[in-house]
Amino acid sequence: TPTVINLGDNAAPVRDQGGDYRNLVLDFGAVQSLGAAYLYVDRRLTFLPQLMAWDLYFSDDAEGFDWGLPVPAGQWSATWFELETGRQGWEIRFAGGEVTHRRLKLVNRKLGPTMGDLFVTELEPFTTTLSTEPELRSRQDAERGTRLRAAPQAAIPLRRITGPARPGRR
């Protein structure tokens, strides 16, 4: 189920800081290790994935105001993927394997026209880097219990950023 977070061109521009972008923030409530994250969207792209650039920020500030500078590109990557099951999105990986912070913020920057609507369906963080195939992570997640719980925030109204809690999970 999509959220109201629209990364596409039909979304109202956020021009406060001089650009058309969206901030996606996860607050874990305490410092956590993070090995990978997956940002799923509701449809396949009709534009080149390179037209949607990403910046990554971390914060351990108690109030969540101090984000500092973006993480240098060589220390992390955001790679577009499409699966035969119909799931698609960006895989976020870290060059050193894991990072440890309280908050994560992804900021998208459009480098040209993209598509009308592209809704976020889920932002899924993991404590360890699991399989390179996102669909295999579901089984590994259930077996290892590595999925992080986060208090999602967004710079625009948010209905839901992650799916409902699964039985047996906290």
Checking if the pLDDT of 67 tops 50, the result is yes
Closest of 16, 46, 2 to residue 107, by C-alpha: 16
Q: Which amino acid is at 92?
A: I
Tell me, what's the pLDDT at 39?
94
DSSP, res 155:
S
Question: Alpha-carbon distance 60 to 65, whole Å?
Answer: 9
Mean local confidence (pLDDT), 140-163: 40
| pLDDT one-digit tens code per residue, 5-21 | 899 988 877 655 556 67
What pLDDT score was predicted for residue 11?
A: 84
The whole-number pLDDT of residue 143 equals 40
103 torsion bin: left (phi>0), alpha (psi -120 to 50), beta (else)? beta
Read off the pLDDT of residues 108-149 as tens digits, 9 standing for 90 and up.
988 888 999 999 999 988 876 445 555 555 544 444 444 444
Six token digits for residue 19: 């650009």
pLDDT digits (tens, 9 = 90+) for 71-89: 998 999 999 999 888 899 9
Question: Is the per-residue pLDDT at 46 higher than 50?
Answer: yes
pTM for the structure as a whole: 0.72
Is the predicted pLDDT of residue 159 greater than 90, yes or no? no
- In this prediction, residue 137 carries a pLDDT of 53
In the 8-state DSSP scheme, what is residue 74? G
pLDDT of residue 109: 87
